[in-house]
Amino acid sequence: MREQAFEIEPLPPFYEEFAEAFGEKQIFIIGNDQRAEWAINALRKDEEQFTRQIDVCDKEIARYQENKRRLIEERDGKAAHLTYMLQSYFRTVKPRETKTQYAYDLPSGSLIQKKPTIAYERDDALLLAYLKASAPEYVKTVESPKWDEFKKARLYYSGKGVTVADSETGECVPGVTAVEKPGGFTIKAAKEAG
């Protein structure tokens, strides 16, 4: 019977530390079929244990994720309910008014109702053509509308619909549409003394 020569990979450098950590006094070498069988079975058992433990971890992660989802849902539901109740209460009090909002101050925080704002969606090409013909002083030399100046000086919005008019000529301004942005309700908690 002829022996075959196999090249054996050297043991990894950490093996001795690994063996010590697991209480092995000497390096284990697979030198016969029985030890090879033992090693195969040890790998199989380790893999089964690893798979079982990973499965347990995955189930625990899923359980924690479900708990987290439920907690977030409860918190969001409670916050929505209390916000609705505070918003209802806000309608019964006399808040102070500023240019952009109504606010009602309490010792623990403030109830704030932002006023609606108008945002203008515009087609600069159409607006530019209009401004060139009727208000060239609002056209930049780079051929774009002087939007901020024109808006401040001559733009008129009646508060109805989406049409925007030139306050000097009364004409509808092409390329500009009024879009109402709803106001928002917020609760601002007072800073805690630290």
pLDDT of 51-68, one tens digit each?
999 999 999 999 999 999
Question: What would the DSSP string read from start to end of 162-185?
Answer: SEEEETTT--EEEEEEEEEEPP-E
% residues pLDDT > 90 (the chain): 46
Band of pLDDT at residue 1, cut at 50, 70 and 90:
very low
Residues 180 and 109 in one domain: yes
Q: What is the pTM of this model?
A: 0.51
Least Cα distance to 157 among 147, 175, 172 occurs for 172
Three-state secondary-structure class, residue 144: coil
pLDDT of 7-60, one tens digit each?
555 555 556 666 666 665 556 688 888 888 888 888 888 889 999 999 999 999
- Which tokens sit at 20? 């010590």
Choosing from 74, 92, 110, the residue where a domain stops is 92
Domain assignment of residue 113, given as a range? 96-189
Residue 130 is predicted with a pLDDT of: 94
CA atoms of 43 and 113, how far apart (whole Å):
66
In a domain, 194, yes or no: no
Choosing from 40, 73, 92, the residue where a domain stops is 92
What's the chain's average pLDDT? Answer: 85
Which stretch of 84-93, 107-116, 137-146, 157-166 has the lowest confidence by average pLDDT? 157-166
In a domain, 1, yes or no: no
Residues 69 and 146 in one domain: no
Residues 107 and 132 in one domain: yes
- Which tokens sit at 164? 């925007």
Choosing from 70, 92, 114, the residue where a domain stops is 92
Residues 103 and 181 in one domain: yes
CA atoms of 69 and 45, how far apart (whole Å):
36
